[in-house]
Structure 1
């Protein structure tokens, strides 16, 4: 075993930190006061400061060597491992010796495991910028990002060696294999050190530490630049709780959670990148490590845990369950809250940092309404797009904002929110501006609501609504591998009662009828973001033929020839199906159906 021995879990971690269930959001300084420390300018400076601090010998990061068997690392151990890895990487990627030397961009492509974390810290220690590449984008997207960021080096894992070689052949980048653990974790590793460098922290704070990128749902991914100063400002905003995170480090929320833990000096468990995201694996960590106080997850992980009483119990005992990256379907969130889970929605963007959470008093059940804090309020602008629906814009001056897309240097998020009917400064996520489906008559339907209801069924792995520029909405279902339904009709039959209940609460134009629900194969291919959500634009492109066929078949259907009383009875029956809210007793042969609330889309369907 290496000389940098891993730490056993201390017994002190078995007791909670005493945060009250009804406590408001508390900064780490209030939870664990420290003597005043020097100003931290860079990510590397943060690691070194934590290694030298009074918590330097206490576990800060836990990662499984295999399965869910975790190994613990202290800040001092991380610092030693990062130094040894930096020495190795410096043979190819030169260390900056002063703040006057140019910063180079180094791409990193591979699974988000422990070596990944050590590598990104080592590149940062060498004084360079890390381009964090998703493992789920296409070769052309890698080429675009490398060219746009002028990256000089690309570190690849063996599983991405081939694509790395192809990218290198199309660009001027130098490919370098990722460092295996035996190259930095071995007897004598603590004797390795880089030459001293003359760095000016105030200068380097303005340099870029990470480049993260968008999902590329509407084209090539766009690089998003994060300075050391902006990142550290973001990481200082934390709950001071021991955590468990399931997101990869190349995702903005993932890397933020890791460094918030390091900043607050609270242990964080990282999900094993070599394991599929399943309920048994999640439960194994939560059951075996009772010291975990907060779970950071995407909604898919919450869905998995919510499908068993054990999962609900494990989440209910935590101080917080926090999700981000995409919206949590309301049925799932409601189920968690009703079972005692303190569910908190997180909202932020890579371009602006964390902005709002739904942190609230325990008896407040509005888990899906986020609230901006008083320091953020002056930097927000809400632009109304439709009645009661607003796009969030972040104004110039907000410290964590690193991008602008408006002439006044504000950043329009393209995220739509709806106001709480009674509570001030409370907003519920509605949809992405890009997600909104504009129907044939100009009505704007939000697909997320009905998708969330369908996805809540354990027989369903994914649900995608469609219908842009069409007369009405349709819905694709992709069965879960564990589905108990043997046929497509059985799956639709299982899901439709919940959809019907949801229809009753939606505008008429957003209604999904049974005949517009179609089932795709369980192994149907579709592109997903790192958050696990469907890339909507790509899905619509890939399945355009199937969508067109559905509407063509609908237009061509019908072989009955009716007249007189039979025709009236048929139309009456069809109208009540199209508009189930109509009181049948008010419907006569000469009734103006528009006076009963039938809209243009319903009349088109009829």
Structure 2
């Protein structure tokens, strides 16, 4: 395999965070498809596109909704060993809503803990406690599993925001909003935007903290793969797995 070149779409040395990279894409190629997601119409499965600009606007709107719903959870002290970042768990089906929610939370300057839906209630409690998470966002099929953690750990458990993509696609928030400007700047400063979990094959799973550099190098590698696409066409992201 040839080394990744500096001609990649995402240069990890130029963009220090996911938010930086997205803002660059919005400014330069706003109408280019970024995500393609499946949607069922009657008995037919079709794929719809979200452009960079649409993705940016929808995640801005989602970030505002989560900021209001999380409330005091955003001000709680996080694990001091992890640069006092606030951790929010995410337990939901890995669809387009998952991708949008992850990015909206990162825009708030939060660290998103991407939790496996296969975790038992005991393992879920262990991981939330180990990461000092202050809130958990759950999909509809995981509400019963997450709800007990409010009493057990004193965290806030919220349902995932189900966005009507067609209705919200052209929603725009004013960029002059001082609150929005402040959390966007905070998002660029977080050192660990995401947490994954180990397999737990030798014991209980552990949180694995991903730095911005880790995430940006993954994006850079994916951009490199696009240049090697057999059909030479620009690729888009299929939302079949957590980012």
For Structure 1 versus Structure 2, the TM-score category normalised by the shorter chain is 0.7 to 0.9
Give, in whole Å, the separation in 2 of the partners of 1:200 and 1:131.
18
What is the Cα-based RMSD across aligned positions, in Å? 3.3
Give, in whole Å, the separation in 1 of the partners of 2:198 and 2:13.
34
Unpaired segments ≥5 residues, structure 1: 1-23, 245-264, 274-606
More helix by share: 2
Is 1:57 the counterpart of 2:31? The answer is: yes
| Structure 2 counterpart of 1:177, from 154, 159, 182 | 159
Shift of 1:127: 0.3
Preserved contact between residue 115 and residue 180 of structure 1 (Cα < 8 Å): yes
Preserved contact between residue 106 and residue 155 of structure 1 (Cα < 8 Å): yes
| Structure 2 counterpart of 1:224, from 200, 204, 208 | 208
Is 1:46 the counterpart of 2:28? The answer is: no
Deviates more, 1:85-94 or 1:231-240: 231-240
1:120-159 to 2 correspondences below 5 Å: 120-159=102-141
Secondary structure of the equivalent of 1:195? helix
Unpaired segments ≥5 residues, structure 2: 76-82
Shift of 1:47: 1.6
Is 1:162 the counterpart of 2:131? The answer is: no
Please name the residue that 1:208 is paired with: 192
Check 1:63–1:162 CA distance in 2 against 1; reply closer, same or farther (3 A cut): same
Moved >3 Å (runs of 4+): 24-32, 191-194, 198-202, 270-273
Check 1:110–1:31 CA distance in 2 against 1; reply closer, same or farther (3 A cut): closer
Q: Deviations over 1:209-240 (max 9, x none)?
A: 11100122232211111111232133322334
Please name the residue that 2:56 is paired with: 79
Deviates more, 1:125-134 or 1:174-183: 174-183
Please name the residue that 2:181 is paired with: 196
TM-score by length of 1: 0.33
Greater RCO, CA 8 A, separation 6+: 2
Check 1:269–1:137 CA distance in 2 against 1; reply closer, same or farther (3 A cut): same
Preserved contact between residue 105 and residue 150 of structure 1 (Cα < 8 Å): yes
| Structure 1 counterpart of 2:68, from 57, 70, 91 | 91
Secondary structure of the equivalent of 1:176? strand
Give, in whole Å, the separation in 1 of the partners of 2:142 and 2:94.
13
Preserved contact between residue 61 and residue 270 of structure 1 (Cα < 8 Å): yes
Preserved contact between residue 68 and residue 272 of structure 1 (Cα < 8 Å): no
Secondary structure of the equivalent of 2:193? strand
Shift of 1:57: 1.3
Aligned residue pairs, count = 221
TM-score by length of 2: 0.78
Preserved contact between residue 86 and residue 123 of structure 1 (Cα < 8 Å): yes
Check 1:107–1:156 CA distance in 2 against 1; reply closer, same or farther (3 A cut): same
Shift of 1:182: 2.8
Give, in whole Å, the separation in 1 of the partners of 2:50 and 2:100.
12
Preserved contact between residue 197 and residue 205 of structure 2 (Cα < 8 Å): yes
